[in-house]
Amino acid sequence: MEYKQFKEIKLSHLGMGNMRLPVLNNNNKDIDYHKGQEMIDFCYKQGINYYDTAFIYHEGESEVFLGKALSQYPRESYYIADKFKYSAEPDYRKQFQTQLERLGTDYIDFYLVHGIADNNYNTYMECGCIEYFQQLKREGKIKYLGFSFHGNPGVLKETVKDIEWDFAQIQLNYYDWYYGTAKEQYDILTEKNIPIMVMEPIHGGMLASLCDEANDLLNELNDQNSIASWALRFVKDLDNVCVVLSGMSSFDQVKDNIITFSDETKLTPMELETIEKACHIQQTQIGTTCTACRYCVPHCPKNLEIPYLLKLYNEYKLGGTWRLSRLKGSDDAHTPVNCISCGICTKQCPQSIEVKEYLKQMTHDYLGVK
């Protein structure tokens, strides 16, 4: 395992994200403790010491699971990252206390203001939470204070202007580097000497399997490497990236990621060029860039499983309309025709994805082939 120096401590370059843990009965709240524990144990034994969770992951169950899964190891041998989400519980004192209880700890190593974005920047800045967390840091209940970010670069500049942050977490992957604002965000933080923790390095799984043409290009470089490993290598090579979080869902993913982070070889210019080429090919073929973060889901008045539907949209765009046959006999939550085009999801989405347009198109094509 590679390590990066963060102030006075060493952090594993790969961090374990706990937002997409294996679940039972297809129920997001029902974490499979047996499989999850196996993954955490393997991570720990392989030297991963950074474990990321949040108040809202798995509807609150991620924190409970992680606290239990790590409890057999000495508390000082690992670092927990957890996040305050205003919209889930505006009372920041209460939320922090609940988190300590769920995790079964009396301090949190890395604490983040969760998901600062253009539409909540003022709320976070004015609600008093940052001053409170700074106070907790002085008391030792928080060791390092940071934020995760989903907004525009202009808002990022404002966020780092007057506050002393220990670190920041941003969405960074080669797709957002070439097609989004990831590079601009990376430069803003680097200029302010703020170390970066990376989220979505594989873009919610999208960069784990590209279209055939793009996959072939990467496989020609080395067909022993997984497609996902190219995405991880892209971000881990960046100097100011401290921890790369991967929201691992299976033991195989854990093993594959650990292999990637045990090899310090940097990408060659030719490999980088090929990644960029594969990304461009993918971009011309892809449908949506949904990362399955699920921020939109609780707000949909029709309770639609939006990430599932957008994933299916991508599959049908890449694989053909016949894939929509999966919609046959779906329940209400998995039926795009139930969308009423209210647009509420787009307002909640960090990428402002026009979900209703995709669902409209999918409905149209599905009705055409039915």
Residues that bind ligand SF4 (CB under 6 A): 290-296, 300-302, 304, 306-307, 310, 339-345, 348-349, 351, 353, 355-356, 359
- The end-to-end CA distance of the chain, in Å, is 50
Residue 61 is encoded by which pair of tokens?
A: 């169950």
Q: What Å distances lie between residue 287 and 60, 129, 210, 316, 318, CA to CA?
A: 31, 38, 12, 9, 8
* Rounded Cα gap, residues 271 and 340, in angstroms: 45
In this structure, which amino acid lies at residue 322? W
Backbone angles phi and psi of 240, in degrees to 5: -85, 5
The CB-of-16 to ligand SF4 minimum distance in angstroms stands at 21
Query: What does DSSP assign to residue 131?
Result: H
The CB-of-314 to ligand SF4 minimum distance in angstroms stands at 11
* Rounded Cα gap, residues 62 and 19, in angstroms: 7
Q: What Å distances lie between residue 103 and 157, 208, 320, CA to CA?
A: 33, 31, 45
- CA 241, distance to chain mean position in Å, is 15
The CB-of-210 to ligand SF4 minimum distance in angstroms stands at 18
* Rounded Cα gap, residues 300 and 292, in angstroms: 14
The CB-of-133 to ligand SF4 minimum distance in angstroms stands at 25
Q: In this complex, which beta carbon is closest to ligand SF4, that of residue 69 or of residue 296?
A: 296
The CB-of-289 to ligand SF4 minimum distance in angstroms stands at 7
Q: In this complex, which beta carbon is closest to ligand SF4, that of residue 1 or of residue 340?
A: 340
Are the C-beta atoms of residues 5 and 18 closer than 8 Å to each other? Answer: no
174-191 exposure pattern, b = at least 16 Cβ within 10 A, e = fewer = bbbbeebbbeebbebbee
Residue 196: strand pairing partners: 168, 241
The CB-of-345 to ligand SF4 minimum distance in angstroms stands at 3
Q: In this complex, which beta carbon is closest to ligand SF4, that of residue 166 or of residue 200?
A: 200
Backbone angles phi and psi of 109, in degrees to 5: -70, -55
Q: In this complex, which beta carbon is closest to ligand SF4, that of residue 246 or of residue 274?
A: 246
Task: Tell the residue number behind the tokens 């090899």, with chain if given.
Answer: 263
Q: In this complex, which beta carbon is closest to ligand SF4, that of residue 301 or of residue 320?
A: 301
The CB-of-343 to ligand SF4 minimum distance in angstroms stands at 5
Are the C-beta atoms of residues 7 and 218 closer than 8 Å to each other? Answer: no
Q: In this complex, which beta carbon is closest to ligand SF4, that of residue 40 or of residue 310?
A: 310
Q: In this complex, which beta carbon is closest to ligand SF4, that of residue 256 or of residue 305?
A: 305
Q: Which helix (H) or strand (E) holds 94?
A: helix 92-103
Q: In this complex, which beta carbon is closest to ligand SF4, that of residue 319 or of residue 343?
A: 343
Q: In this complex, which beta carbon is closest to ligand SF4, that of residue 168 or of residue 290?
A: 290
Are the C-beta atoms of residues 78 and 44 closer than 8 Å to each other? Answer: yes
Q: In this complex, which beta carbon is closest to ligand SF4, that of residue 15 or of residue 204?
A: 204
The CB-of-72 to ligand SF4 minimum distance in angstroms stands at 33
The CB-of-153 to ligand SF4 minimum distance in angstroms stands at 19
Residue 144 is encoded by which pair of tokens?
A: 């390092």
The CB-of-176 to ligand SF4 minimum distance in angstroms stands at 12
In this structure, which amino acid lies at residue 249? S
